[in-house]
Amino acid sequence: MTHYDAIVLGVGGMGSAALYHLARRGLRVLGLERYNIPHEMGSSHGLTRIIRLAYYEHPSYVPLLRRAYELWRHLEHTVQERLLYITGSIDASAEDGEVFTGSKASCEIHHLPHEILDHAQIQARFPGYRLPPGIVAVYQPDGGFLLAERCVVAHVMAALDLGAEVHGQEPVLGWEPRGNGVAVQTESQRYSADRLVICAGAWGAKLIPELAGLAVPERQVLAWFQPLRPALFQLSRFPVFNMAVEEGRYYGFPVYGIPGFKIGRYHHLEQRVDPDDMDRQAHRQDEDVLRRYTARYFPDAAGPTMSLKTCLFTNTPDEHFILDLHPSFPQVSIAAGFSGHGFKFCSVIGEIMADLAQHGESRHDLGLFRLKRFQASFTGASA
């Protein structure tokens, strides 16, 4: 068996970042990926991912986001490639809705620059938006988007430059503790390591059975519609958005990479799936859910369909992440359950996973993300 200081299972958004940060610390590290690098079978594709500082989900995410921005900029410098685009961000809902109130609270607690805009002010400043009366928004100027696949490639390339070893097209069959380390069996070889870092996305519960019911895959669909007035949806005129309305909660982007306005609905059709046996085709029903919303709130974007893609969320019961040591084997670190809002954090989660692998703890506050919060359904979780 070839031996490593650490093995990372899954080389998508989180795994590629963990690989890089471990290699950056001088560890001999191996990354194993069941598909291509990058690939379109998981949660790290579709060209772009939103990054935003105004965070309604919980104000404790904001310090992690500040560090994430620093690390994305550092990665850009390392690989000499632009990965992060700033457009500003809109977080909108009814005035008493959790998206608006939570985003506003996170800005106030962490002293983030922001503005409160009503529906008319939003449309006047950003004419692509046509929001109804009663919708209010937090505009935060530091929001924007990341180039998802390029971020994965950048982390992998930077890790390779530091001596990491990376294997695509090598599915992992299983792992087991081996003394104070681990052994990992793939379809072609057996490896050993002092530490194991599992960043397997929708396949997490297949590698860690204790995550069953705590990291649940869900089918997601994205659409790109050709704008009828393209000038309104360019980078300089259209902030990314996160919006809760009567139809659900949606997110969207200016035109980039594909000649279309990108739109998605959180928890698209609420379809729990097996990632090895899911419907990866997009259908008329999928398109209609996204087109009806676009036609109502962004009518100048509701032109012909340019592209439809499926991807995966992996949801926890409370939609907060799982970042922890394995409850029985402290030489194993787990990153799972990013619930459709994790990619923006990849850079800092890579740092956290390197911390956990090396030291069993992190300087970042992980209180919100520990397994112990699920003790009712998962006994023996780590403290």
- Verify whether residue 309 is a known catalytic residue: no
* Residue 272 CB-density burial (10 A; 0-12 exposed, 13-18 middle, 19+ buried): exposed
Q: Which of 21, 24, 34, 49 is catalytic?
A: 49
**Number of alpha carbons in the 13 Å side-chain half-sphere of residue 339:** 14
* Gap between the Cα atoms of 53 and 44, Å rounded: 20
Which residue is it, tokens 């400043």?
125
Question: Catalytic one among 21, 48, 155, 314?
Answer: 48
Please say whether the beta carbons of 340 and 204 come within 8 A: no
Q: Is 107 an active-site residue?
A: no
| Candidate list 67, 119, 125, 267, residue with the active-site label | 267
Among this protein's residues, is 45 annotated catalytic? yes
Which of 104, 114, 219, 262 is an active site residue? 262
Cβ atoms within 10 A of the Cβ of 360, count? 13
Q: Which of 219, 341, 344, 373 is catalytic?
A: 344
The rounded distance, in Å, linking the Cα atoms of 59 and 103 is 8
Burial class for 197, CB neighbours closer than 10 Å (0-12, 13-18, 19+): buried
Instruction: Give the active site residue among 21, 311, 320, 373.
Output: 311
Q: Could you give the count of Cα atoms lying within 13 Å of 101 in the half-sphere of its Cβ?
A: 5
Residue of 34, 45, 104, 320 marked active site: 45
| Residue 104 known to be catalytic | no
Give dist(CA 295, CA 26) in Å, integer: 52
216, 270 contact by CB (below 8 A): no
Is 155 catalytic? The answer is no
* Inter-helix orientation angle 61-79/346-359, to 10°: 100
Phi and psi of 214, rounded to 5°?
A: -110, -15
Specify whether 49 is catalytic.
yes
Q: Is residue 48 annotated as a catalytic residue, yes or no?
A: yes
Active-site residue numbers?
45, 48-49, 262, 267, 311, 344
